Structure 1
Amino acid sequence: CRVKKRVERLAEDPRMVITTYEGRHVHSPSHDQEDSSQASSHLNNFFW
């Protein structure tokens, strides 16, 4: 999959981030589901 992920902090509020994905996913949706749960886990670790 050649999707690029970019994360930037907001200048107005450095506690907030903007996440941008560029490109096209070329794998099965089940792979997206796994990635989403891993991302959720990382977010939970970030905020707690």
Structure 2
Amino acid sequence: MRTINRILSQMSKITKHQHKFLLTLFSTIMLLQGRINFRNMGRYSNLN
């Protein structure tokens, strides 16, 4: 997660809300095993 945060911090045009969303999205994708779809991402992400 630190790597993702470091990469997103280097992107200057990403707003605070986009940064939070992309950080959650990429960390959830890395967490999931098997099929990655919106149902599973909603089940395992912190945005419930």
What TM-score range do you get, normalising by the shorter chain? 0.3 to 0.5
Structure number having the greater helix percentage:
2
Question: TM-score, normalising length from structure 1?
Answer: 0.40
Question: TM-score, normalising length from structure 2?
Answer: 0.40
Structure number having the greater strand percentage:
1
